[in-house]
Amino acid sequence: MTEATAVDLDFGDDGLIPAVAQDADSGEVLMLAYVSREAFERTRETGRAHYYSRSRDELWEKGATSGNVQTVEEVRVDCDGDSLLYVVDQEGGACHTGYESCFHRTADGEVVGERVFDPDEAYE
Amino acid sequence: MTEATAVDLDFGDDGLIPAVAQDADSGEVLMLAYVSREAFERTRETGRAHYYSRSRDELWEKGATSGNVQTVEEVRVDCDGDSLLYVVDQEGGACHTGYESCFHRTADGEVVGERVFDPDEAYE
């Protein structure tokens, strides 16, 4: 993998670009998070999904604490260069609540996703 | 479909929440755009995907010009209530460039998506 980027990325006024993580096998949309240029480069260098936490204001390797890492198969860029798609192999579940996907509820509050790990054990 | 929303949504400082559109059949991630509260309500009322265009600064029904509308099967909300997932039946292609998905390129610039319509005809 190389750091060279053929597609220009628009990191916006705040230096962040939204990234969607999708499970490479199931096609499930796992989460949406934000990526700084450094997070993007670390993702490309390591093959592990990195993001930038807006609440903690820091670079963040997904799964560094929980073990639920994302191995990145492909990074895609949208037509405007202002959003990313990480196609990943997800270890365990993507959601800190224990669900496979952060999008495990409908807007009406119905749970439609699957719980795949116990968050109390993962984040002790 | 009802306007009632059981899940609290965080529309952030700018009144917008990012929404991922995913094809209900193929599972393909089609696009990422932004949704105002009005766009969210119109989506729920009509069953057609509405967004808010940041560049044109206006509510926008996807496909109103091109005919490439999105019929929304399900609206999901992520764990933090600050992003949405529209599971849609996509008419034609989602991307204004004629591709099925806006995410039709890798970060290295390789085209991996499929072109499904001629944008010159759709947007004449």
Kindly state the DSSP code that residue A99 receives in the 8-state scheme: B
User: What pairing do the DSSP bridges indicate for beta strands B50-53 and B58-61?
Assistant: antiparallel
Q: What pLDDT does A81 receive?
A: 97
Which token pair is A45? Answer: 């260098």
The answer, for B26 touching chain A at a CB cutoff of 8 Å, is yes
Q: What pLDDT does A96 receive?
A: 94
Which token pair is B73? Answer: 């099967």
Choose the closest CB to B6 out of A22, A31, A109.
A109
Mean pLDDT of A65-90: 97
Mean pLDDT of A79-103: 97
Write out the DSSP string of B2-58. Answer: -S--SS----TTTT-EEEEEEETTT--EEEEEEE-HHHHHHHHHHSB-EEEETTTTE
| Residue A2: inside a domain | no
Q: What pLDDT does B115 receive?
A: 95
| Residue B110: inside a domain | yes
- What number is the ipTM of this complex? 0.93
Which token pair is A91? Answer: 């270890």
| Residue B10: inside a domain | no
| Residue B6: inside a domain | no
B18-58 pLDDT, tens digit per residue, is 999 999 999 999 999 999 999 999 999 999 999 999 999 99
Q: Name chain A contacts of B108, Cβ cutoff 8 Å.
A: 2, 4-7
End-to-end CA distance of chain A: 34
3-state SS track over B44-60: HHHCECEEEECCCCEEE
Q: What pLDDT does A122 receive?
A: 78
Q: What pLDDT does B121 receive?
A: 86
| Residue B117: inside a domain | yes
| Residue A109: inside a domain | yes
Q: Which residues constitute the domain of residue A29? A: 16-122
| Residue B2: inside a domain | no
Mean pLDDT of B7-22: 96
Q: Cα separation of A123 and B13, whole Å? A: 30
Q: Name chain B contacts of A10, Cβ cutoff 8 Å.
A: none
Mean pLDDT of A30-35: 98
Average pLDDT, chain B: 94
The answer, for B86 touching chain A at a CB cutoff of 8 Å, is no
Q: What pLDDT does B124 receive?
A: 64
B73-114 pLDDT, tens digit per residue, is 999 999 999 999 999 999 999 999 999 999 999 999 999 999
| Residue B9: inside a domain | no
- CATH classification of the domain holding B86: 3.10.20.810
Q: Cα separation of A48 and A63, whole Å? A: 9
User: What pairing do the DSSP bridges indicate for beta strands B84-90 and B17-23?
Assistant: parallel
Instruction: Please report, as a single letter, which amino acid is at residue A73.
Output: E
Q: What pLDDT does A2 receive?
A: 45
Q: What pLDDT does A124 receive?
A: 64
Domain total of chain B = 1
